[in-house]
């Protein structure tokens, strides 16, 4: 999940050019779908009217920790020529700062943050501050309406859990059934714990597993970005995460991709791909 605070200020990197082409300045929400639809950007080549450009969420390649990647600059749109963006901007639904109103008519707080699914753009949850200044969260499933000044939500205990805490659901099953379920879970766990063959230490087994599952820490967009690298070249020497050096001009292979383990290295390769 990504919050608005984490997204605002991210660099926009064009994969085709291998350069930064802008910075995220604002977000445009779609209240009907509960979605992040567009990014408003400052485009680096703009001398005036810097906030007149937008990128649709559906056109991005990835939303990562350090940057948003796009395939090329062709996906950057002029806001004034896009009626969909203008219509959403005119609705002025920011959510942050909106009062949280239950369907029974009670104000329970004010929204302070929104979290999105970085792969779909869908709002996952909102964080609000209640009358005691405590930060609490509301799951998207509990939100009825995103309005200009109001966030209307269902009544219920799950929407009032403290921010960062897992919801606690009271177990009302009879004690004997609870005990039976616990035993079944333990039996399944024991079946899944398969010991390593004789002579192989736990550390070696762990190392082998990591070696055979490269890039598991990357999300779907970042995995696609890695595959895009294959067959490309870089314009400077880059140190990979296993200590090897990817020399300038060398073609990137699947083996090279397996040595990219961190987002920092991913972004460095992205920023120094050979153009064309």
- pTM equals 0.59
Percentage of the chain modeled with pLDDT above 90: 52
pLDDT at 172 over 60: no
Cross-strand pairs, 3: 115
Segments making up each domain of the chain, as ranges = 2-91, 99-160, 215-271
- Residue 139 confidence (pLDDT): 94
Question: CA-to-CA distance for 201 and 146, rounded, in angstroms?
Answer: 54
Model confidence pLDDT, tens digit, residues 83-112: 999 999 999 999 999 999 999 999 999 999
Q: Are strands 19-30 and 62-63 parallel, antiparallel or unpaired?
A: unpaired
Arch. (CATH architecture) of 99-160: Roll (2.30)
Residue whose structure tokens are 């060398």: 250
CATH number of 2-91: 2.30.30.240
Q: Give the side-chain half-sphere CA count within 13 A for 131.
A: 4
Task: Give residue 273's Cα distance to chain centre.
Answer: 24
Nearest Cα to Cα of residue 63 among 16, 27, 101, 117 = 117
pLDDT, tens only, 240-275: 989 899 998 899 998 998 999 888 888 778 777 776
Matching fold, domains 2-91 and 99-160: yes
**Listed range (36-40, 167-171, 195-199) with the worst mean pLDDT:** 167-171
Tell me how far apart the alpha carbons of residues 250 and 95 are, in angstroms, rounded to a whole number: 48
Residue 49 has pLDDT above 60, yes or no: no
> Which range (38-52, 145-159, 185-199, 200-214) has the least confidence?
200-214
């Amino acid at each position: 999940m990504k919050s608005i605070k984490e997204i605002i200020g991210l660099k926009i990197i064009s994969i085709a050019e291998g350069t930064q082409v802008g910075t995220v300045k604002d977000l445009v929400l779609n209240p009907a779908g509960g979605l992040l639809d567009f990014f408003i950007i400052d485009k680096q080549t703009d001398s005036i009217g810097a906030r007149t450009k937008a990128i649709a969420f559906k056109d991005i390649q990835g939303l990562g920790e350090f940057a948003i990647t796009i395939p090329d600059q062709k996906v950057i749109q002029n806001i004034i020529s896009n009626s969909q963006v203008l219509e959403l901007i005119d609705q002025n639904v920011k959510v942050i700062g909106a009062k949280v109103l239950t369907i029974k008519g009670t104000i329970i707080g004010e929204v302070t943050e929104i979290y999105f699914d970085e792969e779909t753009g869908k709002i996952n949850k909102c964080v609000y501050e209640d009358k005691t200044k405590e930060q609490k969260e509301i799951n998207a499933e509990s939100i009825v309406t995103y309005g200009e000044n109001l966030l209307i939500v269902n009544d219920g205990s799950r929407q009032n859990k403290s921010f960062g805490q897992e919801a606690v659901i009271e177990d009302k099953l009879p004690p004997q059934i609870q005990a039976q379920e616990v035993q079944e879970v333990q039996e399944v766990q024991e079946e899944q714990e398969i010991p390593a063959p004789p002579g192989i230490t736990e550390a070696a087994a762990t190392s082998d597993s990591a070696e055979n599952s490269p890039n598991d820490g990357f999300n779907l967009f970042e995995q696609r970005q890695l595959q895009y690298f294959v067959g490309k070249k870089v314009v400077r020497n880059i140190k990979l995460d296993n200590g090897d050096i990817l020399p300038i001009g060398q073609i990137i292979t699947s083996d090279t991709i397996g040595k990219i383990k961190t987002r920092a290295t991913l972004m460095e390769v992205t920023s120094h791909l050979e153009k064309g």
